[in-house]
Structure 1
Amino acid sequence: MTVNEDTFTNWKNREEIAESMIPVIGKLHRERDVTVLVHSRSLVNKSVVSILKTHRFARQIAGEELSVTETLPFLQALTTLDLGPSQIDIGMLAATYRTHADGLTVEEFTARAVAGATGANKIERGAGRDVVLYGFGRIGRLVARLLIEKSGSGNGLRLRAIVVRGGGDQDIVKRASLLRRDSIHGQFQGTITVDEANGTITANGNEIKVIYADDPSEVDYTAYGIKDAILIDNTGKWRDREGLSQHLRPGIDKVVLTAPGKGDVPNIVHGVNHDTIKPDERILSCASCTTNAIVPPLKAMADEYGVLRGHVETVHSFTNDQNLLDNYHKSERRGRSAPLNMVITETGAASAVAKALPDLKAKITGSSIRVPVPDVSIAILNLQLARETTREDVLDYLRNVSLTSPLKRQIDFISAPDAVSSDFIGSRHASTVDAGATKVEGDNAILYLWYDNEFGYSCQVIRVVQHVSGVEYPTYPAPLA
């Protein structure tokens, strides 16, 4: 047999193993609300090739290959346990077992590592929590996709309704079509049907009522059987407590804004300050996509090296707020054609850092340039550190943060030498550290942080909603503090 045949046979064997993993992953998710991960990347509803690619990607962050032959025994071990709702990272289990097996079998090691999700320790599945989307634009539709994807056994978040302004004939058909197909993020993974007579969109079995209203005061959600719901405002029309309080109608318990909040509205960056949300807080903001991109790595750097001051420059994809062609706009420069120009504009991300990281005393400034790409942005974070270090030390530290720290869902890490913006479309992390572009000299560090300002941000929104709803399940093995 030739070397090429050996390589191909090995690939076919791994395909067969990945194929055998799919029903196991699906059953754990469907019956027990267990999400199987590999280095923070979900394997639920993934194809054979996607599973193999997710394992292959481990070399970018862990520095060595991860094979399905290594993770399969841990997946099989999970099926023998009395698991409750949780997220279990079989990539981390395999990696940890390599160095900390302590003479245990895979089954014994797995049982010990996920003990918090088994037996008397496990979380009991609840009845689920209703969610309403107010607005159905770029972020609204991506949040809808994520809610539908994560509906699992039906015991988590349940998208019950979307609220929009009436748009004339076939409005609901057109909105369903926009959910079904997206020029950037591709086809919806599943089936969508429309019932115009009853005003519903059914997506993967989730029946979603389309409510038409021009103002929050027009809606009584209890009339649609909605109760104790979390409303996600994607419009950005109201940003202060007074305006957002209009949503606290019958059937709505909490309001989450997908834009920076003003005044005393808490700005939450999941992974950094979500644990500061008071149980009785009914109105909160998920800040901006750029704030979510820079705050986690800024916290990581401050924790390890100290930060005296910093500047963030965002090179940001254009948005619907800009004009396609030159036309009047209330803001300076944004009236100029977005697909044809680089446009200097303002960003509130730097000032928003203080809300998410109140203990950080460093002065952070910021500016932004909108560029002619439809999605994925990059933040260049220029930091003066409290002590000198080296590029190698910073990269080793950030790689470990992305793998094992409580920020591993927010911070990703890539060492590919030819990575470009389109590679990060669909990234679920708040931002990704580009190792090749990182510069460190003495007490100065410059980090290049890629982020999908649409999808990655939507994932952060979902994490906040899961947290305040009580369906944010623990991850095992537990991240290192």
Structure 2
Amino acid sequence: MSSSLRIAINGYGRIGRCFLRALYESPLKNTLQIVSINEPADLATIAYLSRFDSTHGVFPGKIEIGADCLIVDGRKIGVTHACVPEEVDWKGIGVDLLIECSGCYTQRQDFDRFVEAGCERLLISQPGRSAQDVDLTVVYGINHGELGRDQRIVSNASCTTNAVVPVLDQLHRAFGIGHVFLTTLHSVMNDQPLIDGYHHSDLRRTRSAMQSMIPVGTGLAQGVERFLPQLAGRVQAKAIRVPILNVSAIDVVVELGCDATAREINLLLSEAAAAQPGLIAYSVDPHASIDFSHNPHSVIVDGSQTRINGPRFANLLLWFDNEWGYANRMLDVANYWSKRFR
């Protein structure tokens, strides 16, 4: 393991734990090594939530507790409990890449604190506040080839951007796109209370996550336009949280630039799925959302739901596991990027 990429995770919540589990369920566990986790929670709770997960099941390997460390399948992972970047000796740990999953940081000045504290590079599990707050925002399969030695701070975009951009890219290349409206039906998140309770800024998110469908704000339109700038000003989006634990969907309404049939759209996307295995999937089976829990694809196109209204007005339904699919794309980006900067 001496030549392995040394990875640390900062913030060991849903995505942090899924990233660790995805690595240990992947052949990449032999080339990427998690050496450190920084999470304010106590070690016993960290170990327990690593072993048992209400969504993804029991960890398939062995997890033990050592002296200030987790022992995962016999490998020690040091655990610290700092609340700010400067309180961890990242340089002493010898971190090649930090997976920043706390969700607490969105601006370059905050990301720079990790670099100054000894982290050579950061891969962030959310978009930066603006494109300028990071060196590159990546959707794997679209622009990961731009990763190189010069970047220090890279965003893995959002789970919804990873799901919809590959599909819109295919549609735009084949038919052209006039306008797009996206409605995300997203599973609940941990910024919502189980029963009505206070929220720091959004009155709708004071309401019980498990009793209502709740509209929330979304930056998906801006995320799409970062990757498809030719659609700038022509993308609108809204998001509704729905009371399920995992798996989300995007209802896509798109005005095409030329005439197309539902069959032509489905053929295009099924061929894209065959050309990009592991990223895009395609199905016409009568699905429910639970079918895609623990699915590693960025997006699954539900061809049974493709509709055309008039020659150029199309409606599609896209599924994605907003936790597992996203964590696997972070793993892909970490692996690809490491080959460019090492």
TM over 0.5: yes
Q: TM-score, normalised by structure 2?
A: 0.93
Between the aligned partners of 2:282 and 2:98, the Cα distance in structure 1 is 33
Asked if residue 440 in structure 1 is aligned to residue 308 in structure 2, the reply is yes
CA contact (8 A) 2:14 2:323 kept: yes
Seen in structure 2, the aligned counterparts of structure 1 residues 361 and 126 have a Cα distance that, compared at 3 Å, is farther
Q: What is the Cα deviation at residue 206 of structure 1?
A: 2.5
Between the aligned partners of 2:221 and 2:232, the Cα distance in structure 1 is 13
| Aligned position for 1:303 | 173
CA contact (8 A) 2:179 2:235 kept: yes
Seen in structure 2, the aligned counterparts of structure 1 residues 282 and 332 have a Cα distance that, compared at 3 Å, is same
Between the aligned partners of 1:431 and 1:128, the Cα distance in structure 2 is 30
CA contact (8 A) 2:289 2:319 kept: yes
CA contact (8 A) 2:139 2:162 kept: yes
| Aligned position for 1:423 | 291
| Aligned position for 1:128 | 4
Between the aligned partners of 1:243 and 1:451, the Cα distance in structure 2 is 30
Q: What is the Cα deviation at residue 410 of structure 1?
A: 2.0
| Aligned position for 2:203 | 332
Q: TM-score, normalised by structure 1?
A: 0.67
Aligned counterpart in structure 1 of residue 137 of structure 2, from 264, 267, 271: 267
CA contact (8 A) 1:151 1:158 kept: no
Seen in structure 2, the aligned counterparts of structure 1 residues 272 and 415 have a Cα distance that, compared at 3 Å, is same
Q: Which has the larger radius of gyration?
A: 1
SS at match of 2:238: strand
CA-to-aligned-CA distance 1:284-326 (integer Å, 9 cap, x gap): 1111111111111111111111111100001111100111111
Aligned counterpart in structure 2 of residue 238 of structure 1, from 105, 109, 113: 105
Seen in structure 2, the aligned counterparts of structure 1 residues 409 and 454 have a Cα distance that, compared at 3 Å, is same
| Aligned position for 1:175 | 46
Asked if residue 188 in structure 1 is aligned to residue 59 in structure 2, the reply is yes
CA contact (8 A) 2:35 2:78 kept: yes
Aligned counterpart in structure 1 of residue 155 of structure 2, from 285, 308, 316: 285
SS at match of 1:238: coil
SS at match of 2:312: strand
| Aligned position for 2:330 | 461
Count of residue correspondences: 336
| Aligned position for 1:141 | 17
CA contact (8 A) 1:308 1:362 kept: no
Between the aligned partners of 1:364 and 1:387, the Cα distance in structure 2 is 18
> Which gives a bigger RCO, structure 1 or 2 (Cα 8 Å, sep 6+)?
2
Aligned counterpart in structure 1 of residue 217 of structure 2, from 338, 341, 346: 346
CA-to-aligned-CA distance 1:342-380 (integer Å, 9 cap, x gap): 101111111111112234456110001111101111101
CA RMSD of aligned residues (A): 1.9
Aligned counterpart in structure 2 of residue 209 of structure 1, from 78, 82, 90: 78
**Residue ranges of structure 1 left out of the alignment (5+ in a row):** 1-124, 473-481
Between the aligned partners of 2:196 and 2:188, the Cα distance in structure 1 is 14
CA-to-aligned-CA distance 1:143-163 (integer Å, 9 cap, x gap): 011122336573x11101000
SS at match of 1:294: helix
Seen in structure 2, the aligned counterparts of structure 1 residues 408 and 298 have a Cα distance that, compared at 3 Å, is farther
Between the aligned partners of 1:161 and 1:362, the Cα distance in structure 2 is 42
In structure 1, what residue type is equivalent to 2:47?
A
Between the aligned partners of 2:306 and 2:187, the Cα distance in structure 1 is 21
In structure 1, what residue type is equivalent to 2:307?
K
Between the aligned partners of 1:365 and 1:271, the Cα distance in structure 2 is 23
CA contact (8 A) 2:148 2:340 kept: no
Asked if residue 400 in structure 1 is aligned to residue 271 in structure 2, the reply is yes
Moved over 4 A (4+): none
| Aligned position for 2:252 | 381
Asked if residue 315 in structure 1 is aligned to residue 185 in structure 2, the reply is yes
